[in-house]
Structure 1
């Protein structure tokens, strides 16, 4: 690999598709891993655009993309959490873990064996026996593969790109169960109709090109995914349970890291 201190994994998908839950699970399984959240780069509330009379937190204009790319560059170079980022997202609750303790323990064992001498993952990541290895950063965000992020230079800074699917019905149910979100100014609670008026239409607009005929509840366009280097659970349908998604993500990351190390 090129001279660097960390690999960066992007996890994107609609709001409430399970990105943060998956990021925290991967942090627990892969040694030397920390999380960066797209939500930590929200602009001040006074700078947010409005749509249909509501503040729009769910568009690219709400995110300080240059600051996010600066943070990603710092991580690649130094392998540490950017000291200039004040994370608010980890103060938000995501509820009970939907993955069983047995599945988490099995994944930890799989990764630990993969890192052993003689195994494909040996010496790639930093662990107790390999302090000079790479750290892993997981970046979760709802817009990582949008045209605006592409224009801002975000995808080239991501070494692995995962995309989670969810139906509008499930996303709405999950988001409406949340109490709200910690922000720079205090606390935000979605006003009535926010998902239907803001969240889902913005998701459709930003991600239609990843799907055949632009139908975000239809089939993914594998050609576009291939061009962008995005990995997804193609052919599995929407609303795949998190335990299945977690196991898929662990395997996908081990495969990608082996590719980067020239072992595949």
Structure 2
């Protein structure tokens, strides 16, 4: 076990809806030994408890839609015990995720590299938590639980195109489909509100505040990996490998 005393490495993968978080998490699970996934969406409140906005539409993309106490308890449990809390069942894995677009040969190469380079490090389990709202200021108490923070960006046009192409989402009590205009009025609006502090002038399609991201230890995917999941996997793998190597060196 590491000098930190924690029995697991927690990786937060966050960003706007449809930025590739779940796809990246699943690819990394296949590549990095002893890796498991937990989805922030598994901590939604019941359908009846989801807040309703001023337009009378349920807001599944706001802080109030999540059971933050349960999420924090789960993360604490994982860090303390090194495995998932009992009776935590993922509904998110029932939702469809499209093809990753990553060449299978590249995945095989990274998997081979991971097993070679992480041979002595893989005794500590890695848990990847993907979610749309992990790094906001209102989530700082949860944000600081992550050993690695990976932030994915996507522009409004891409988010709108991808999100509106989805058929819907399995919920605790049923199924949700976005009503017309939902991406603009809810998804993107909430993303800008909750993550604007990371960007110059609050423009979430603009320049990041690099000093702040460094202070908060948030690794942000370079612009050139947007829309290129192969490049995104390479970048994320490099960041994880770097952390695990430093962790082992400190044991």
**TM-score, length basis structure 1:** 0.90
Q: 1:128 maps to which residue?
A: none
Contact in 1 for aligned 2:34/2:126 (Cα 8 Å) = yes
Residue 233 of structure 1 and its aligned partner are, at CA, apart by: 2.4
Q: 1:129 maps to which residue?
A: none
Residue 189 of structure 1 and its aligned partner are, at CA, apart by: 0.7
For 2:87 and 2:134, locate their aligned partners in 1 and report how far apart those are by CA, in whole Å: 21
Contact in 2 for aligned 1:166/1:238 (Cα 8 Å) = no
Match 1:170 to one of 147, 154, 158: 158
Q: 1:192 maps to which residue?
A: 180
Structure 1 pair 238/169, CA: closer, same or farther in 2 (3 Å)?
A: farther
Tell me the SS of whatever aligns to 2:130: strand
5+ unaligned residues in a row in structure 2: which ranges?
none
Q: 1:71 maps to which residue?
A: 74
Q: 2:40 maps to which residue?
A: 38
Match 1:140 to one of 127, 130, 144: 130
1:261 aligned to 2:248? yes
After superposition, give the CA deviation of every residue in 1:209-251 in whole Å (9 maximum; x if it has no partner). 11111110011111110111000124x2573411100110000
5+ unaligned residues in a row in structure 1: which ranges?
117-122, 126-132
Contact in 2 for aligned 1:75/1:82 (Cα 8 Å) = yes
Match 1:124 to one of 104, 121, 126: 121
Q: 1:49 maps to which residue?
A: 51
For 1:220 and 1:23, locate their aligned partners in 2 and report how far apart those are by CA, in whole Å: 23
CA RMSD of aligned residues (A): 1.3
> Deviating runs (4+, > 4 A) in structure 1?
none
Tell me the SS of whatever aligns to 1:138: strand
For 2:4 and 2:132, locate their aligned partners in 1 and report how far apart those are by CA, in whole Å: 28
